[in-house]
Structure 1
Amino acid sequence: MQASPIGIFDSGYGGLTVFRSIADRLPDYNYIYLGDNARSPYGDHAFDIIYKYTLECVEWLFAKGCHLVILACNTASAKALRTIQQRDLPAKYPDRRVLGVIRPTAEVIDQYTSTKQVGVMGTRGTVNSKSYLLEINKFFPDIQVYQQSCPMWVPLIENNEHLEPGADFFINEYCSQLLKQSADIDCVLLACTHYPLLLPKLKTIFPDYINILAQGDIVANSLVDYLARHPEIEQKLGKQGERSFYTSGDPVAFDEHASIFFGEALKSGKM
């Protein structure tokens, strides 16, 4: 059997923060990362457009030999994952699996809050889908969730302007709007894989008692557990430590920006 890589998909660069955590936790596996940079950001697109784009990218990764694909994108996980899992996989790809980032986060969110008051910061698409409200409520009905959309954050990050003084207004504004919703919030979930790059500034804005939660390590730990529970998938995966990167956009531009998210230089190919 040909060794299968793990596919990791994001609408742009943000999924590289999740990939970094996964690769650190499971360094021996083979991976293919795909960023749909030509059509990002996904945050403001309608459901049917996000589903269409996500499915196209998942099928591209399947064609590359992936039996397991991680949607390292909150918007795609919120608006496309369930339809792909319930409709497309049973009909066309019964031996393939697609996982997201929302459920693994919701399953452990109680470990990070004492007040049971959680803030969720994400794109408009993620916030409007109410996916975190629904998923967290399934596991922890006693946790109150407050949401804040941050439409300017992804453009600032993808243009490498997020740590510049000019970004401060938008960073402070969205944080302030979230905290105004409840004085008892003690955990803030960064529900977009781009947002960990804002951690240096967010730590200066939020009080010390607030846990600022990025998803990379959570998703990586969840994947370790998933592979242990699903040997029929794990046994198909290649373990030569190979990593490939692809983009639907300009590979030169992708390589320049992607290193900021992944933490090391990389070389990508065209989708």
Structure 2
Amino acid sequence: MHQPIGIFDSGFGGLTVFKSIIEQLPEYDYIYMGDNARAPYGNRSFNTIHQYTWECVQWMFEQGCPLIIVACNTASAKALRTIQQQDLKTVDPSKRILGVIRPTAEVIGDYTISKEIGVLGTKGTVQSGSYLLEIQHFFPDIKVHQQACPLWVPLIENGEYDQPGADYFVKLYLDQIMTQSPQIDTILLACTHYPLIQQKIEANLPAHVKVVAQGDIVAKSLVDYLQRHPEMKTQLSRNQTKAFFTTTDDTADFDHHASVFFSAPVKSTFISANDLVKC
């Protein structure tokens, strides 16, 4: 039976996590869903983000996924808890949905010496306060500074991130967060899109500041999860297949940009948002 691991994101960003997961768990089957037609999620309301995320999750269940990774910080912040605690009960409580915030919060304190970190994310992620709460739970002695970067995802989704005009907006938000405290020595990229501009980010920060992306963190967390949950591990099929789906009907454009994120050729299939609503 085909029972792949599902990877969901609002657009391209989750591919940075997907790539890391495959590097550590290459034997499994995977389905990637990018809701590009309705991206970005960052400025949308709680109800809208929950609706979109739950629609995509249900569609992935219909494709046979017993385990889904929500590789989107905004969806993890604003929809994951409701889906885990309420929605799953109406479908199949045996299925599992994991996010990216908790596994990141569990280890981020290991990167800082000064005990002050900066979190860069979408408006939705920052406003949710999820990282403040989760990091405080695991590292109560760490001070967290947050900065919303509302223009970064649109620049990345539209392929403008490597243009000179993007440099201004990269520096703008970095200056704002470093102004909050000169003691920040670690910057967390709390959006899976941001690794694509990581070099620009590092170039505009003091040399001693570490920049932490989530891909390897989430992948290691998934390896640990499967080791601790053999009942889920035995369900998953292992044929090393990868399938990509997007809600934009311009699959050629998706494939082009996704290939950059994934550092490998990507061939996607269109799934309309209307079909998701029917799930």
TM (norm. structure 1) is 0.98
- Partners of 2:62 and 2:252 in 1: how far apart? 24
Q: Which residue pairs with 2:62 in the alignment?
A: 63
Structure 1 position 202, deviation (Å): 1.2
Q: Does 1:109 align with 2:133?
A: no
Partner of 2:252: 252
- CA–CA separation in structure 2 for the residues paired with 1:44 and 1:73: 13
Alignment of 1:21-170 (within 5 A): 21-170=20-169
- Aligned to 1:142, the other structure's residue is in SS state coil
What is the DSSP-based 3-state SS (H/G/I as helix, E as strand, rest coil) of the residue aligned with 1:121? strand
> How far did residue 203 of structure 1 move?
1.5
Report the CA distance between 1:91 and its aligned residue.
3.0
Instruction: Tell whether the 8 Å contact from 1:3 to 1:236 is kept in structure 2 after alignment.
Output: no
Give the 3-state SS of the residue equivalent to 2:264 in structure 1.
coil
2: distance between equivalents of 1:161 and 1:71?
25
Structure 1: distance between partners of 2:132 and 2:204? 24
Match of 1:268 in 2: 268
Distance 1:40 1:122 in 2: 15
Runs of 4 or more, structure 1, over 6 Å off, are none
After TM superposition, give the deviation of residue 66 of structure 1 in Å: 0.1
Deviations 1:59-97 (A, max 9, x none): 000000000000000000000000000001123211100
Matched residue of 2:181: which SS?
Answer: coil
| Contact preservation (8 Å) 1:32, 1:246 | yes
For residues 208-240 of structure 1, give each alpha carbon's deviation from its aligned partner in whole angstroms, at most 9, with x where no partner exists. 211100000000000000000001111000111
1:20 matches 2:19: yes
Q: Which is further off, 219-228 or 154-163? A: 154-163
Look up the match of 1:175.
Answer: 174
Question: How much does 1:204 deviate?
Answer: 1.0
The one-character-per-residue Cα deviations of 1:30-63 (angstroms, maximum 9, x if unpaired) are 0000000110000000000000000000000000
Please give the alpha-carbon distance, in whole angstroms, between the structure 2 residues aligned to 1:39 and 1:83. 20
TM-score (norm 2): 0.96
Aligned residues: 270
The Cα of 1:25 is off from its aligned counterpart by 0.8
Q: Deviation of residue 176 (structure 1)?
A: 0.2
3-state SS of the aligned residue for 2:170? helix
SS of corresponding position for 1:7: strand
Deviations 1:238-268, CA, capped at 9 Å, x for gaps: 1110000000112222111111111111100
Quick one: percent identity of the two aligned structures?
59
Work out whether 1:207 is the aligned partner of 2:206.
yes
1-side partners of 2:270 and 2:166: how far apart?
31
Distance 2:92 2:128 in 1: 26
Mapped partners of 2:54, 2:179: distance in 1: 37
Separation in 1 of the partners of 2:56 and 2:42? 16
Question: AA paired with 1:118?
Answer: I
Three-state SS of the structure 1 residue aligned to 2:243 is strand
Matched with 2:226 is: 227
Structure 2: runs of 5+ lacking an equivalent: 272-279
CA-atom RMSD, angstroms?
0.7
Query: In the alignment, residue 81 of structure 1 is paired with which amino acid?
Result: L
CA contact (8 A) 1:246 1:269 kept: yes
